[in-house]
Structure 1
Amino acid sequence: MTTSRPASDAVPPPGCPAHARGAATAAADHTGSRAVERMYGPEFAADPMATFTRLRAHGSVAPVEIAPGVDAWVVVGYDTALEVLRSPERFSKDPRRWKALADGRVPADSPVVPMMMYRPNALWTDGEEHSRLRRVITESLDRVDPNALRGYVERSADTLIDRLGPRGEADLLGEYGAVLPLLVFEQLFGCPEDIGRKLARGMAGIFDADADSEKANAVLAEGLAELVARKRRQPGPDVTSWMMAHPHGLTDEEMIHQLVLLLGAGIEAEQNLICNGLRLLLSDDRFAGDLAGGSMPVEDALDEVLWTDPPMANYAVHYPIRDVELDGTLVREGEPMLMSFIAVNNDPALAGDRRTGNRAHLAWGVGPHTCPAKSPARLIAAVAVEKLLDRVPDIELAVGVEELEWRQGPFNRSLVSLPVRFPPVAPARRPAEDRGRDAEPIPPSSVPSAPAPEAGGTGSAHDAPGHWWDSLARWWHGR
C-alpha cells in the first residue's frame, strides 16, 4: 500500500506548518514505502506517545506497521476518529474487506490476525446483521442487576485481599486485577472454573505480541465451544443462557463469537482498566498520602485513565468501503485503519486539558459500535479499586513507576506486572470462605453462581507454564 496525492500537490515551503507533513507524504510517495513507525515492540510499549507525536507530522491519519510485514493506518486526530466512527456508510467493520489478508500478503500466523480476523460477531459486522447480534448482547446484559453485581465484586475483592493481605506484598496484576474480572465473568456467564482458566489463557495470548497467537486462538475456541455446549445442556439464569434463549436464535457458532467479544472486554480490557487505575493512584502526586481519603475520587481517576491510558489503546479497526481522502491523505479501499484512542484523546487540537469529570474521551468508542458494556465495566473497576484502597490504605509501589513494564502488542495498554508492598493486612473473612465462588452468592434471579465442573473435567492440553495466568492458577489453588 502506498500513500498518494495528485502530482500537482507540491510540498509546502520550509517554515509553513504543513511542510513536515507534506515532506513526509512526498517521501512516502517517492519510495513507495508506507509504514514509517512500528506500533509494537519495547520502544513503542515504553512510550507510545513519542511514536504518536512523530506520526502527527503526517496529519491525523498516519502509516504504521502493527506487526512484522503488516501495514495499516492509524488515526491520531480526534475529529477524524469521530468522522470514521460515525460513518458506517463509508467505513466498514468487516475484516473480509482486508485486501492484504485476502491476497495472502499478511502471514496467516501473524500475531495480529486473531485480533483482526473476521468473526461473525457484533464487532466485525455491519448493518442489519450487526444490529441483530448487538441486540442479543445488550438485552442480555440489561438483565444483570447492578446492585447484585456490585455485591459480588465486593465479596470477590475481599476474598482476594484476604489471600494476599497477610504477606505484605503482591503483584496486583496477577493476584488481583487479572483474577477479579475472571471471577466476575465466570459468575455472570455461568462459566465453570476449569473453562474460565482456559479462556483467560487464550484471550491473553491473542493480545501478546510475542505469543503463539494461532495456538492461543485455538485454546480460546476450544474453551468457548466447551462453555456453549455445557450451557446448551444445562441452561441457567446467566448471560450465556439468556443469549441462547434470545428470540433471534443464535447458532452455536454465533454464540462462540459473541462470547469472544464479551470475553475480551470483560477480562482483558477490564484488568487493564483496574491496573492502570491503580498505577495512577499509586504514582500520581495528587493521590499522595492516605489513598482512601485522596483528593480525587476513584471515578475521576478512572476517567483520567480512560483519557491517558485506555485499556484498548489502539483498536476499533475500520476498512474504507471505497478510496477516501482523510485530512489530505488517501486511504485505499480495504486498507485497515486503527483508531488510536490513546492518541486521539491526547490530540493537541483539543481545547484545554481539564479532564476531571470530563467523559468526552473516545475510550468506549462512539457511533453504532459504542461499547455495550461500559456501565458494568466502570462499576466493576470502581468497586475493585475502592475496595482495595479501603482495605489496604498504606499500599505503595514496590518499584519506581518508571520501572514498570508494558506488554508490547499494538492493541492494548497493559502492564506486565504491578508489584506493591504494604503493612500486612489480617484476613477479614473466615478461612472456609477463602474461595471466590464460595462467597455469599448473588440472588439467582440476578446472576447465578457458576455450575460446578463436570466429573473428570481437566484443564486444556495446551496448559503450560510461562505467564501470569499460570501463577494466577497456582496461587488461587494455594500452590
Structure 2
Amino acid sequence: MSTTPLPPPGCPAHGLGPDGLQRLYGVEAERDPMHLYEKLRAEHGAVAPVLVHGDLPAWLVLGHNENLEVARNSSRFARDPRVWRAVQEGEVVPEEHALGPLVTWWPVINFNDGPVFERLRSAVLESLQRFDRRGIRRYVMRFAHQLIDEFVATGRADLVAEFSTQLPMLVMTQLIGAPDEHGPKLVRAVPDMLEGSDTALASDEYVTTMLYQLVENKKAARGHDLTSWLLDHPAELTDVEVLAHVRVVLVAAYATTANLIANTLRMVLTDPRFRANLSGGRMTLPDALEQVLWDQPPINTVLGRWATADTVLGGQEIKRGDMLLLSLAAGNVDPEIRPDLSQSVHGNRSHLAFSAGAHECPGQDIGRAIADTGIEVLLARLPDIELTVDDSELSRRGTLMSQQLVELPVAFTPKRAGAAPAAPPAPGPMPFPTPATAVHVAPPPRTRQLWPWLGRLFRRR
C-alpha cells in the first residue's frame, strides 16, 4: 500500500468531518480502506453512519448478512437514485461532482427496479448467457498468448500494464462483436477514460462513437455477439438502450476483471499458501480465484441504495430516502461469518464480490472465465515466474469503490516468442461488415452527454 503519511487531525484531508462522522474519501480512506472498515465496525457495528464526497450523509453497510438484506430486498432498498431524500428535497448534485454518476438516474439496469429493470436485465442476462464457456476460453487463450509473446523474450514484465489491463478488453471487444482493430484502441481508450486524464474526453468520445457505429452496423448484419443479441431480444431495446448496455458491460467487465486478474496473480506470486498449493497440485486455480474474491474483491464498495421507508438495519434507524453504500470487502471479512481469516474458503462461493439479489453482476461467469484461463496460460508459459520486488513494496491507488495495483513487476527465464502452440481459432462473431456493405453514419450528436456517468463511476480521483 502507499506509504503517504496521514495528515494531522483537523486537516481538511483527515478522515473526520465537521460533525465528527467518518469521511469515506481523502487520504485515510484511499490509503487503507480495510483498516477504516474495521475501525467503523468496532465503533458502530454492522452499519455505520459516514460522510461521502462533499460531506453528504450516508450509511455504510459492513456486515455480511446486512449486505445481503439490502441487496436482496429492492422493495425496502431501491436502486433508483430518485428515491434519495436529497433529490426529493430539490438538491441537485452537479454532473461534475464525484457522486454525479451515482445519483443521476439513467434508463439502464444500474438505476432501475420493478418492470423496467426486469425488462432490461432479462435482455442483458439472457444475451450474456448465450456465450459458450469453451468459446470464451478460446478467445482468452488467443489473446493471452499474443500478450505473452510481446514480452516473453525479455525475461521481465509488468503484469499490470502488459497483461491484466489488456486481456479483458481484447476479449470483450470480440464478445461485443467489434472488429479486431478496435481491440488495441479500446485497451488504451477505456483506461484513459476511467483515469480522468487530460485526454479522457477524447477517449470517452471515441468509445461512444465506436459503439454507436457498432450498433448501426449490427443492425445491417447480425453476428454471434452481445450487440446483435441485444438488438434481437424480445425485450425490444431501443438502439440507445442497446448502446448503453453494451457500454455498461464493456466498461464494467474491463474494470473488475483486470482487477481480479492482477489481485490473483499477486497472491499466486506472494502468498505461500497459494504458491505451494498450486505447484503441489492441491489447490486449483479456480479455488485460488475464489479465495481472492473473498479477500480482495475487485470492487470494495457498491455505491447507491436508497431506503424506501423508515426501517431498522443492523441496529441503526434508517430513515426514508437515506442513502446506503454496500461494503462488499468489509462484508467478506465480517467476523460473524469468518472468525479466522487465515482459513481457506475452498468451495465456498457465498462471498459478496459480485453483490447479490436482483442486481448481482450478470457477467460474473465471463469474468471468472477470462481471469482463470488467462492466468492458466501465463503460468503454463512462464512456470518459473517470480516477483522482482517484495510484496510490501507493491502500491495501490484508487477510491472508496476499488483499489488497483499500480504495477506487478516479474522476472522469468526468457523464451522464444511463439514457442507455445497456437491457440485454436475462436468461434464467435461473424465478420464485421466490409466497407462495401457496412452502414456508415455520422457520429451521434453530443456523444459526451449520452452516458457520461459510467466512465466517472470507476474514475480515480
TM-score by shorter chain over 0.5: yes
Match of 1:37?
23
Are 2:153 and 2:417, in contact at CA under 8 Å, matched by a contact in 1? yes
1:170 positional shift = 1.3
TM (norm. structure 1) is 0.79
Match of 1:323?
310
1:382 positional shift = 0.6
Q: For residues 231-242 of structure 1, what are the structure 2 equivalents within 5 Å?
A: 231-242=218-229
1:216 positional shift = 6.7
Match of 2:362?
372
Q: For residues 300-315 of structure 1, what are the structure 2 equivalents within 5 Å?
A: 300-315=287-302
- String of CA shifts for 1:23-60, please: whole Å, max 9, x gaps: xxxxxxxx98374132x445433322110011111221
Q: Distance in 1 between matches of 2:230 and 2:44?
A: 44
- The change in CA–CA distance for 1:395 and 1:66 in structure 2 (over 3 A counts) is farther
Match of 1:400?
390
Q: Distance in 2 between matches of 1:99 and 1:217?
A: 31
Which one of the candidate residues 154, 165, 171 is aligned to 1:178? 165
1:108 positional shift = 2.5
Unaligned runs of 5+ in 2: 1-16, 449-461
- The change in CA–CA distance for 1:328 and 1:430 in structure 2 (over 3 A counts) is closer
Q: Distance in 1 between matches of 2:193 and 2:400?
A: 11
Match of 2:408?
418
Q: Distance in 2 between matches of 1:336 and 1:202?
A: 32
- String of CA shifts for 1:399-425, please: whole Å, max 9, x gaps: 222222222222123222222222212
- The change in CA–CA distance for 1:371 and 1:168 in structure 2 (over 3 A counts) is same
1:92 positional shift = 0.7
- The change in CA–CA distance for 1:451 and 1:441 in structure 2 (over 3 A counts) is farther
Match of 1:385?
375
Are 1:186 and 1:450, in contact at CA under 8 Å, matched by a contact in 2? no
Match of 2:271?
284
Q: Distance in 2 between matches of 1:210 and 1:348?
A: 39
1:290 positional shift = 9.3
1:146 positional shift = 1.2
In the alignment, does 2:246 pair up with 1:246? Answer: no
Q: Distance in 2 between matches of 1:111 and 1:408?
A: 13
Which one of the candidate residues 37, 47, 58 is aligned to 1:72? 58
The count of residues paired between Structure 1 and Structure 2 equals: 423
Are 1:209 and 1:410, in contact at CA under 8 Å, matched by a contact in 2? no
TM (norm. structure 2) is 0.81
- String of CA shifts for 1:179-218, please: whole Å, max 9, x gaps: 1111111111112356556655565456558889877765
Q: Secondary structure of 1:428's match? A: coil
Q: Distance in 2 between matches of 1:314 and 1:375?
A: 20
In the alignment, does 2:214 pair up with 1:227? Answer: yes
Match of 1:93?
79
Q: Distance in 1 between matches of 2:155 and 2:103?
A: 41
1:163 positional shift = 1.0
- The change in CA–CA distance for 1:450 and 1:274 in structure 2 (over 3 A counts) is farther
Are 2:33 and 2:400, in contact at CA under 8 Å, matched by a contact in 1? no
Match of 1:356?
346
Q: Distance in 2 between matches of 1:204 and 1:274?
A: 15
Match of 1:26?
none
- String of CA shifts for 1:340-388, please: whole Å, max 9, x gaps: 1100010111154441221111112221122222222211111111111
In the alignment, does 2:426 pair up with 1:442? Answer: yes
My pick for the range that moved more, 154-163 or 91-100, is 91-100
Q: Distance in 1 between matches of 2:432 and 2:352?
A: 34
- String of CA shifts for 1:255-304, please: whole Å, max 9, x gaps: 12212321233211111111111011111012346955464321111111
Q: For residues 334-353 of structure 1, what are the structure 2 equivalents within 5 Å?
A: 334-353=321-340
Are 1:287 and 1:295, in contact at CA under 8 Å, matched by a contact in 2? no
- String of CA shifts for 1:149-186, please: whole Å, max 9, x gaps: 11221121111111111111111112111111111111
Q: Distance in 1 between matches of 2:67 and 2:202?
A: 33
- The change in CA–CA distance for 1:122 and 1:108 in structure 2 (over 3 A counts) is closer
Match of 1:264?
251
Q: Secondary structure of 1:130's match? A: helix
Specify the code of the residue in structure 2 equivalent to 1:307. W
Specify the code of the residue in structure 2 equivalent to 1:250. L
Are 2:222 and 2:228, in contact at CA under 8 Å, matched by a contact in 1? yes
Which one of the candidate residues 143, 156, 165 is aligned to 1:169? 156
Are 2:109 and 2:121, in contact at CA under 8 Å, matched by a contact in 1? yes
Are 1:78 and 1:344, in contact at CA under 8 Å, matched by a contact in 2? yes
Q: Distance in 1 between matches of 2:102 and 2:188?
A: 15
Give RMSD over aligned pairs: 3.4
1:219 positional shift = 5.5
Match of 2:455?
none
Q: Distance in 2 between matches of 1:321 and 1:409?
A: 27
Q: For residues 56-67 of structure 1, what are the structure 2 equivalents within 5 Å?
A: 56=41, 57-67=43-53
Matched-pair identity in %: 37
